[in-house]
Amino acid sequence: MANTPQAKKRIRRNDRRAEINGARISRIRNFVKKVETACEAGDKDAAKTALQAAQPELARGVARGVMHKNTASRKLSRLSKRVAAL
């Protein structure tokens, strides 16, 4: 258990950040899922618009530090490839 005031504050801060970061990751996953469901349905227009909406969300996740740059790049590349294949 934390003994110092600094350690107690750090625990409180970590709990708050974990909640915020979890919400950010969930939001990114929802945007990615919209692209994937549109691809599975075979709806190219919906997939394109969903991909355009997902792209800045992935970039924002990288900027906020909840996702690694290469992870976001890989996800975006694979989604783009799937949309182009429709």
pLDDT band at 7 (very low <50, low <70, confident <90, very high): very high
Token readout for 7 is 């350690």
d(CA 61, CA 48): 20
pLDDT band at 2 (very low <50, low <70, confident <90, very high): confident
**Class in CATH terms, 5-85:** mainly alpha
Q: Where are the domains of the chain?
A: 5-85
Instruction: Please classify residue 76 by burial: count the beta carbons closer than 10 Å to its beta carbon, then call 0-12 exposed, 13-18 middle and 19+ buried.
Output: middle
Pick 66 or 86 by higher pLDDT.
66
Please compute the mean of the pLDDT values over residues 78-86 and round it to a whole number: 94
Predicted confidence (pLDDT) per residue in 14-65, tens digit: 999 999 999 999 999 999 999 999 999 999 999 999 999 999 999 999 999 9
Q: Residue 65 gets which letter from DSSP?
A: T
pLDDT band at 67 (very low <50, low <70, confident <90, very high): very high
